[in-house]
Structure 1
């Protein structure tokens, strides 16, 4: 991985208390670099920022139409959700629709990030299950494709037809052969790519509606589903949901673990990918928001933008203590 550049600063009073470096790239419809920071050739795991790519075979295979999947289910297939009732009830219904149960999932149990759901489990003396896992929507998509293909139950194995279909889609839209994979938190393979490849893939999604081939039609449907149901892609209090709500119909954004964030910008025909090298979420959210501001998709003074970029730091008494902001020379005219 090449040299990262400073992207986000944390100031307390007159002192630069912390700093976060990383890489970022903006790509156009041809997959060319419009702007970049750091090393576009840095090889990364995209983590959950690429779930819309993993969902492509669900549509291109014909499985989504065979099972009559709704836009809500397509959004959940791309989601890293909070495990709130709006997520878990829909995943449960989806599994019922397939004639499957929670035991058929292979994502593992996870304590829900949603406070009400978390407290509800405690009060009921119950443990979280796999449906609470933030990736249960993606895995429901995998199960749908697997049932359509007639595959064996271990759909997360890298040589399983479901994952091989995901790899083929991944390499097609990134325009690169993946150099390898790691096991994601949900136990599915996560294929590596360069940051440029990930940005190129997001630009492919951003311009999918301008093309008529089967793969592009599938990509456009997934983007529209994400933008139509931002609350299902993440949830209350989450940057993905809040930013998409603040830019209705203008962008689909998706976070990933370890400081990865992607943006699909149909209005501009651009794709964005970034990676914070220390894996810090506050820095990836700040950087993505700064890029959206720079591209004119959200105003800097929008309350949602201020939640993630140029964020005031307050003491517990509410005193002004500092700010989390992009580095001074980061935002620039393109």
Structure 2
């Protein structure tokens, strides 16, 4: 079995201060590995990197069409958003259209990650709601499917029809049975898979066609297009997902997950990418995914969004450059 390999080094002056190791796979539409680093068979929890998979039943069931969901709403359904007004206003309207409210969500209240929204809430003497939760778009999608199916209110229960549909879609597109699940930060089950399985799923999305006969394939293509069209809804201002998708001109969809997971969907190349940094460091996953995207020719190495994450200088509180976060020798 292969082991995790060094992917990102952190230097302070002439000293190698830290090294982040990980696994990554680039997969083609047939499910075959084009290139791999580390252990392709390492089992991981993909966390929020698979929100587009969790949204597949919403679209392929006909629920999205039945409730007139827009591409913007579908993008928000795949989001780990900032809780800025651009996100919460849309969630509030979405719930109202369903005849529901914040209390129907099961993701839990979370303070806005958007600094302006958070400070405004504090000044107004307000408190966080579930709509501020970074997963509230995904949960609005779950509620839409719940209503379409006429199912019970506890849609995050692993035995609920919504989560059974998610599991079916997840195992289908990853091409393997899931070894189990953990409960995510938003209370929904998060199914495990291998790095190869996750890359295989992303390659399925990359090769999907909205004109296909297969409903799941049409759904995957529609969700990919929605994400790439509305990158500001998928994450938010200053976030890696939004900035990297903008840098690639809407030609590639990317999505981060907690504990340093990152995926990429490349429709023009029909390639899927999955990445996991073992120690869970976000700074490393962002650097590593940028390096892979540069290697695949879809991200300009000198673009500001790239330079912010790959081979990025480290500065102290006085603005003095003290080191660098860079791609490890031999990776990508």
Band of TM-score, shorter chain: over 0.9
Distance 1:303 1:73 in 2: 28
In structure 1, the partner of 2:66 is 66
Deviations 1:285-318 (A, max 9, x none): 0000000000111111111100110101122222
In structure 2, the partner of 1:258 is 259
Distance 2:101 2:125 in 1: 21
In structure 1, the partner of 2:36 is 36
- Unpaired segments of 5 or more residues in structure 2? none
**TM (normalized to structure 1)?**
0.98
In structure 1, the partner of 2:8 is 8
1:319 offset after TM fit, Å? 2.1
1:176 offset after TM fit, Å? 0.4
In structure 2, the partner of 1:311 is 312
Deviations 1:239-286 (A, max 9, x none): 000000001121000000001000001111100001000000000000
Partner secondary structure for residue 162 of structure 2 = helix
In structure 2, the partner of 1:200 is 200
Distance 1:35 1:184 in 2: 29
In structure 2, the partner of 1:290 is 291
Q: How does 1:107-118 map to 2 (within 5 A)?
A: 107-118=107-118
Q: How does 1:104-253 map to 2 (within 5 A)?
A: 104-209=104-209, 211-253=212-254
Q: How does 1:12-23 map to 2 (within 5 A)?
A: 12-23=12-23
Distance 1:137 1:314 in 2: 35
1:2 offset after TM fit, Å? 5.3
Distance 1:298 1:2 in 2: 28
Distance 2:268 2:36 in 1: 20
Distance 1:115 1:123 in 2: 12
**Number of matched pairs:** 331
Distance 1:289 1:256 in 2: 15
The runs of 4+ residues in structure 1 deviating greater than 3 Å are: none
Residue 325 in structure 1 maps to residue 329 in structure 2: no
Distance 2:175 2:65 in 1: 27
Partner secondary structure for residue 186 of structure 2 = coil
Distance 1:188 1:42 in 2: 23
Distance 1:4 1:266 in 2: 28
Partner secondary structure for residue 39 of structure 1 = coil
1:209 offset after TM fit, Å? 1.9
Distance 1:315 1:130 in 2: 36
Distance 1:221 1:115 in 2: 31
Distance 2:130 2:279 in 1: 29
Distance 1:147 1:315 in 2: 51
Distance 1:320 1:275 in 2: 28
Partner secondary structure for residue 113 of structure 1 = coil
